[in-house]
Amino acid sequence: MLAYVFSHQPAADVDAKGYEEVLRHFHAALADLHPHGFVRSLTYRVGTGYSDWYLVEDSSALDHLNVAAVSGGRSASHDAAARMAAEGVGKLLALAAGEHDPDATVEVRFSKPAGMGYGELYGALERWTRQPRTSLWRRMMVLGPPPEFSLVSPGAVELPAEMHPETFSRTPI
C-alpha cells in the first residue's frame, strides 16, 4: 500500500470550519467515484495545518487518482479547497511494516540514524510495529521533505533521541 500525503494549511483569512467542510465534500466525492487502485482518503488536522492521506494499492493507481481528483464531480470542491489553501507540499510513502489504522491519532516523524542499515532500523522498530493498529511508513524516491519515516500509532510512542523524532497529534476531520 502507498500513501500520497498532501500537507497544507488554509490561508490566513479562511475560516477553518469552512475549509474543513470543503475538504470533507471533496473526499466524499472522491470516495463515490472510487478510481482504479484507490483504497480511501482522509484528512487529519495536524497542528495548525492539515494532512490529506490518499491510500492506493500501488503506484499505477496514482495516475487514476490524479485525474479523478481534478475532473468531473470533484473539480469544483478540489478547486475550492485549492483557492482556500495558503501552501502545500506532497510526499509519497510506502507501508513498510505494521497495520494501517485510519483512526490512529499519533504520528511520529523521524530519520534513520546515520550508519544504521534499513534492516537494523526495522528490527529496532518491531516493538512498536508489532503492536495492533500501528504502521510504519517510509518516504519513497526522495519525494517530499524529510524526515524519511512516519510511525503512526493509536497512542504515545517514545523513539530514541538519535532518530530525531517529532511527535504530532492528528485528528480526523
111/133 same-domain check: yes
> Among 93, 123, 157, which residue terminates a domain?
93
81/111 same-domain check: no
Report the C-alpha gap between 37 and 114 in whole angstroms: 35
89/104 same-domain check: no
19/72 same-domain check: yes
74/139 same-domain check: no
| Residue 4 vs residues 63, 90, 126, 151: alpha-carbon distances, Å | 12, 7, 24, 15
- Mean residue pLDDT across the chain: 94
Give residue 58's pLDDT.
96
Cell of 37: 487502485
Cell of 127: 516493538
Structural domain total, the chain = 2
b or e along 75-97 (b: 16 or more beta carbons within 10 Å of the residue's beta carbon)? eebbebbeebbeeeeebbbebbb
Give residue 73's pLDDT.
84
**Confidence band of 113 (pLDDT split at 50, 70, 90):** very high
pLDDT tens readout for residues 60-90: 999 999 999 988 888 888 998 998 999 899 9
Give residue 125's pLDDT.
97
87/157 same-domain check: no
Give residue 143's pLDDT.
80
The answer to whether 161 and 167 are in contact (CB under 8 A) is: no
Query: Could you tell me the residue range of the domain that residue 109 belongs to?
Result: 96-172
pLDDT tens readout for residues 2-21: 999 999 999 999 999 999 99
Lowest model confidence (mean pLDDT) among 45-54, 64-73, 106-115, 153-162: 64-73
> Among 93, 118, 138, which residue terminates a domain?
93
| Residue 59 vs residues 26, 64, 124: alpha-carbon distances, Å | 22, 10, 28
7/87 same-domain check: yes
13/87 same-domain check: yes
User: Can you tell me the mean pLDDT for 20-30?
Assistant: 95
86/106 same-domain check: no
6/87 same-domain check: yes
> Among 47, 77, 93, which residue terminates a domain?
93
8/76 same-domain check: yes
User: Can you tell me the mean pLDDT for 126-142?
Assistant: 95
Cell of 132: 495492533
User: Can you tell me the mean pLDDT for 36-47?
Assistant: 96
- The H or E element that residue 151 is part of is strand 149-153
Alpha helix positions (H), the chain = 16-33, 60-69, 75-84, 118-129
Report the C-alpha gap between 82 and 64 in whole angstroms: 19
b or e along 133-150 (b: 16 or more beta carbons within 10 Å of the residue's beta carbon)? ebbbbbbbeeebeebbbb
88/113 same-domain check: no
User: Can you tell me the mean pLDDT for 80-103?
Assistant: 93
Query: Omega of the bond prior to 10 within 30 degrees of 0, cis?
Result: no
Query: Looking at residue 42, which CATH number applies to its domain?
Result: 3.30.70.100
- Asked if residue 144 has pLDDT above 80, the reply is no
Give residue 17's pLDDT.
95
